[in-house]
Amino acid sequence: MPATADDLRGLHELHRRASALRDRLESGPKTLAARLRGLEKRKADLEAAREALKKRKAEVQRQELQVQSQRTRVDDLRVKLNTVKKNDEYKAIMSEIAMINKAISHQEDAILELMQGVETASAELAAQEADVARFASEVEALRSDIETKTDAQRAQLKELEAAIAESEAVVPEDDRERYRRTVRGKGDDAFAAVDPHTRACHGCYQVATIQAISELMNADRLVYCKTCGRILYLIEE
């Protein structure tokens, strides 16, 4: 097996590892940004729920005050009853008192229902607050995890890039330009192994020519797949 085949295989492997690292370096901050957007949405929902609860409580208070003022009205009417002389007037006041009491009773039922709603909403809000707090701490953990790993990954990528530059010495001078163009265009997919027996390119599964295989064996220069344009190297046997 010519040395260059091994070197190209090694170069492919280095490109693969560098590409995987670049993906990871990119995906971390993307995931974090998505989570942060999710957190903002949850916080906004929480704020809306807090406001809604505040309004419900205010409504209970408003209705309780109404009931209070109606009771005062009833008290006043009862005082007035002691002073009336005419039976008609007496009856009218009694009927007004009965009407107000009925209204009070209705409103008290409504207040009771409102208060039950407040209780339910308070419990839901507490659960929602706990959920947002838990999510916020998860996002924070993710952020610090990414920060910790990023430095190590950047250093690793730098090492890989240096190793790639060094390994590129196996690319003959005349082939450098096309090699660079291919790698720029295809990244770590710029290479493909080829089986010398079946002559199948592992990139596109088309059969390479016998001449291409013999060129690869000679390893004087880079051999490209005629179909997919990948840089070929002989498969490990």
Nearest C-alpha neighbor of 39 from the set 124, 123, 122, 140:
140
Q: Which is nearer to Zn ion, 95 or 227 (CB)?
A: 227
Tell me: does residue 227 bind Zn ion (CB under 5 A).
yes
Tell me: does residue 228 bind Zn ion (CB under 5 A).
yes
Q: Which residues pair with 205 in a beta bridge?
A: none
Tell me, letter by letter, the H, E, C secondary structure of 192-234: EEECCCCCEECCCCCECCHHHHHHHHHCCCCCECCCCCCEEEE
CA 54 to chain centre: 30
Degrees (nearest 5) of the Cα angle 128, 134, 140? 135
Q: Which is nearer to Zn ion, 14 or 192 (CB)?
A: 192
Nearest distance, CB of residue 129 and Zn ion, angstroms: 58
Nearest distance, CB of residue 227 and Zn ion, angstroms: 5
Q: Which is nearer to Zn ion, 146 or 228 (CB)?
A: 228
Instruction: Report the alpha-carbon distance of residue 204 to residue 190 in Å, rounded.
Output: 12
> For the window 109-128, what string marks contact with Zn ion as x by the rule CB under 5 A?
--------------------
Nearest distance, CB of residue 202 and Zn ion, angstroms: 8
Q: Which residues pair with 200 in a beta bridge?
A: 207
Q: Which is nearer to Zn ion, 96 or 189 (CB)?
A: 189
Q: Which is nearer to Zn ion, 218 or 227 (CB)?
A: 227
Choose one: 2-10, 23-31, 138-146, 221-229; the region binding Zn ion (CB under 5 A). 221-229
Nearest distance, CB of residue 16 and Zn ion, angstroms: 17
Instruction: Report the alpha-carbon distance of residue 169 to residue 177 in Å, rounded.
Output: 13
Tell me: does residue 225 bind Zn ion (CB under 5 A).
yes
H runs (alpha helix) in the chain: 3-81, 87-167, 176-186, 210-218
Q: Which is nearer to Zn ion, 21 or 225 (CB)?
A: 225
Q: What are phi and psi of 36, to 5 degrees?
A: -65, -40
> For the window 185-204, what string marks contact with Zn ion as x by the rule CB under 5 A?
----------------x-xx
Residues near Zn ion (CB under 5 A) are 201, 203-204, 225, 227-228
